[in-house]
Structure 1
Amino acid sequence: MAVPTISLQNGKKMPLLGLGTFLASNEKELEVALNTAFEAGYRHIDTAYFYQNEHVIGKVLKEWIDSGKVKREDFFIVTKLPGIGLSPEKAAYFLNKSLESLQLSYVDLYLIHTPFGFKYVNDKTLVPTTSTGQSDLDLDTDLEAIWKALETQVDAGKVKSLGISNFNEEQAQRIVNIARHKPVNQQVELHAYFQQKPLREMMRKLGISVTAYAPFGSPGRKAFYESRGVKFESNGLLEDPIVTKIAQKHNKTNGQILLRFLAQQGINVIPKSVTPTRIQQNIQIFDFQLTPEEMKELEDLDQGPVGRSIDFLGFKGVQNHPEYPFQLVTKSN
């Protein structure tokens, strides 16, 4: 199935739907998922140095490109600068590490993964901690200097487009103010319960497209969170009765309705799955339209700031970083 694209402000085209790969760490499972996705028509793959799976993606990409079935330029590959690389000196180093793993000479979009940085210990210690168990934060993170360092990688041809992730409005504006190569995309948590309308409106004014991660509320994060001592409960979005009602009317899955709701607004979506049937279902959202009434019903599910489920507080003490991007919201029971 052909996936529609959106035009980025630098003229590049980005597929409206991609495959998210966060928590896809089982190599065989991910290989099957990628092959299933490519056969189904996915060409946009989202990864990150932090996910520690770029080498698997690189292996499968190379197999497909070498087979002659697809060309490199058919793909839109996104990866991200990790928190331990948030310094002008480390920016090119971690980009090159990702390119080596992906077996690519360039990536289509390179994002600053978070606006807050961690101290660098070594390449494998992704979230260093202090002797007291707190995250070992780099309190001198300089976003503008990091951006300027990444711009030299655009000049060198190693990055086609630059973007940001998990930035607030003020941080995004600061980057735009100093950028030669403007950010073309902002990747944030976004779903029917947390629609981020003020942020999206500002991104629109700045010419920055938006990609929604966790479009289902990311129920698969439970094991990841609880392994770090953080209680996690799914927000129940996939079982919402309004979503279920609309899905039954269109003979679609609840997940397909949630993806269509975002894509129909021009928001990029990157649902993560390693389950072949779900991967195939998730791309089948361009053969129907939600009515204005259905769109309004789904818009009315927005919970505002309390709908956020990803606040990074699993990184103990992260809220003490001067670039921590979110206001902490107390959720009532």
Structure 2
Amino acid sequence: MKLVLSSVALCALFHVITGHAGHNHGPVGKQVKVPTKQLNDGNNIPILGLGTFGFGDIPKIRQAINWAVEAGYRHIDTAALYANEEEIGKGISDVLKKGLVRREDLFITTKLWNDKHAKDQVVPALRDSLAKLGLQYVDLYLIHSPEASKADGSPTNIDYLETWQGMEEAKKLGLAKSIGVSNFNTKQIDRIKAHSKTVPAVNQIEVHPSNTQEQTINDCFERNIAVVAYSPFGFFVTRGGPSKDDPKIKNIAQKYGKSVTQVVLRYSIDRGLIPIPKSTNQKRIKENLDVFDFQLTPEEISTISSYNTDTSIFS
């Protein structure tokens, strides 16, 4: 069964009055409502989230969480590897104390790093992340990568099927509402399906116009697995990629009165993906959320996909 967003969900945009003023982008006092999609375990995930990988200035993350929740974000993505769980936890504590949201309104993802792949390491690793985040549970816990390593980073031979058993235990204990994987290919996912009782709810992979990942995405959708897209801007915000002034993408942006980056985020959403753009800039945080009042045509999606070169920004 394929994961398909309804036309209502794709086009949804409505605002609620929050009473918060002073934002420097978008309607003052307005908050975007992010649509959700149902995962294969029945839980709901907001279809756009705040990524937090690679922030150089860790203290800014706490403020970014506050700005993001004020703007309407409910989905926040982190990982043990990012070494920012404590600051994110402080930001979450801030917005809860302010009464902006309840814990159950938030969707928090973190990830198990490669040096904790043994079955008996998984739950303790998650408990450590929860302590840093100041939470009783996360909404989604992911195996960050199928490769296992020792504490010094050297490779070790631990089958991710063993790791998955630890993930299932974390879910059984209520420490994670949903469990999934990241950077897994179809063959690896099918091994998990064949040797366990739990199908991953999510596969988080790099997806952007220069790395469109059609086959892996289609395979996940056929297995009723949601795809979270990290680095959704790809080369549009790094060196070596297409220019934001490229007429193919610029014309689409002008048609909808949007920025190129907003169009690229909408491209992910209209493909049924869940992008997690990162930013600690208040204006960009709000701009990245302002993508629910337009929808790309199939032809425009194809045009943006024409930038594909199967190239990772990490290679």
**Do the two structures share a fold, i.e. TM-score over 0.5?**
yes
Q: Distance in 1 between matches of 2:276 and 2:79?
A: 13
| Cα deviation 1:147-170 (Å, max 9, x = unaligned) | 011111111100100110001111
Q: Distance in 1 between matches of 2:313 and 2:91?
A: 32
Partner of 1:13: 44
Q: Distance in 2 between matches of 1:55 and 1:218?
A: 30
- Seen in structure 2, the aligned counterparts of structure 1 residues 60 and 281 have a Cα distance that, compared at 3 Å, is same
Shift, 1:218, TM fit: 6.2
Partner of 2:289: 283
Please tell me whether residue 183 in structure 1 is matched to residue 187 in structure 2. Answer: no
Contact 2:117 2:162 (C-alpha < 8 Å) held by counterparts: no
Contact 1:7 1:13 (C-alpha < 8 Å) held by counterparts: yes
Q: For residue 257 of structure 1, what is the amino acid of its counterpart?
A: V
Please tell me whether residue 42 in structure 1 is matched to residue 73 in structure 2. Answer: yes
Shift, 1:179, TM fit: 2.4
- Seen in structure 2, the aligned counterparts of structure 1 residues 237 and 86 have a Cα distance that, compared at 3 Å, is farther
Partner of 2:118: 87
Q: Distance in 2 between matches of 1:25 and 1:45?
A: 18
Partner of 2:53: 22
Q: For residue 117 of structure 2, what is the amino acid of its counterpart?
A: L
- % identical aligned pairs: 38
Partner of 1:270: 276
Shift, 1:219, TM fit: 7.1
Q: Distance in 2 between matches of 1:190 and 1:102?
A: 27
Structure 2 residue ranges without an equivalent (≥5): 1-31
| Cα deviation 1:120-155 (Å, max 9, x = unaligned) | 25xxxxxx3xxxxxxx111x1210011011111111
Q: For residue 172 of structure 1, what is the amino acid of its counterpart?
A: I
Q: Distance in 2 between matches of 1:85 and 1:3?
A: 33
Q: Distance in 1 between matches of 2:144 and 2:196?
A: 17
Shift, 1:60, TM fit: 1.2
Q: Distance in 1 between matches of 2:125 and 2:243?
A: 35
Partner of 1:64: 95
Please tell me whether residue 137 in structure 1 is matched to residue 141 in structure 2. Answer: no
Secondary structure of the equivalent of 2:137? coil
Contact 1:216 1:237 (C-alpha < 8 Å) held by counterparts: no
- Seen in structure 2, the aligned counterparts of structure 1 residues 23 and 66 have a Cα distance that, compared at 3 Å, is same
Shift, 1:234, TM fit: 4.0
Please tell me whether residue 193 in structure 1 is matched to residue 224 in structure 2. Answer: no
Q: Distance in 1 between matches of 2:286 and 2:246?
A: 22
Secondary structure of the equivalent of 1:117? coil
Contact 1:185 1:210 (C-alpha < 8 Å) held by counterparts: yes
- Seen in structure 2, the aligned counterparts of structure 1 residues 109 and 237 have a Cα distance that, compared at 3 Å, is farther
Structure 1 residue ranges without an equivalent (≥5): 122-127, 129-135, 223-232, 312-333
Q: Distance in 1 between matches of 2:265 and 2:177?
A: 26
Report the TM-score, using the length of structure 1 for normalisation: 0.81
Q: Distance in 1 between matches of 2:288 and 2:81?
A: 24
Please tell me whether residue 55 in structure 1 is matched to residue 73 in structure 2. Answer: no
| Cα deviation 1:284-306 (Å, max 9, x = unaligned) | 00011112322221232222x3x
Shift, 1:191, TM fit: 0.7
Partner of 2:248: 242
Contact 2:70 2:100 (C-alpha < 8 Å) held by counterparts: no
Q: For residue 200 of structure 2, what is the amino acid of its counterpart?
A: P
Q: Distance in 1 between matches of 2:242 and 2:256?
A: 21
Partner of 1:215: 232
Contact 2:66 2:92 (C-alpha < 8 Å) held by counterparts: no
Shift, 1:239, TM fit: 5.0
More deviation in 141-150 or 236-245?
236-245
Q: For residue 176 of structure 2, what is the amino acid of its counterpart?
A: V
Report the TM-score, using the length of structure 2 for normalisation: 0.86
| Cα deviation 1:99-132 (Å, max 9, x = unaligned) | 00000010000000011121125xxxxxx3xxxx
Q: Distance in 2 between matches of 1:253 and 1:22?
A: 23
Please tell me whether residue 295 in structure 1 is matched to residue 295 in structure 2. Answer: no
Secondary structure of the equivalent of 1:192? coil
Q: Distance in 1 between matches of 2:240 and 2:155?
A: 28
C-alpha RMSD of matched pairs (Å): 1.7
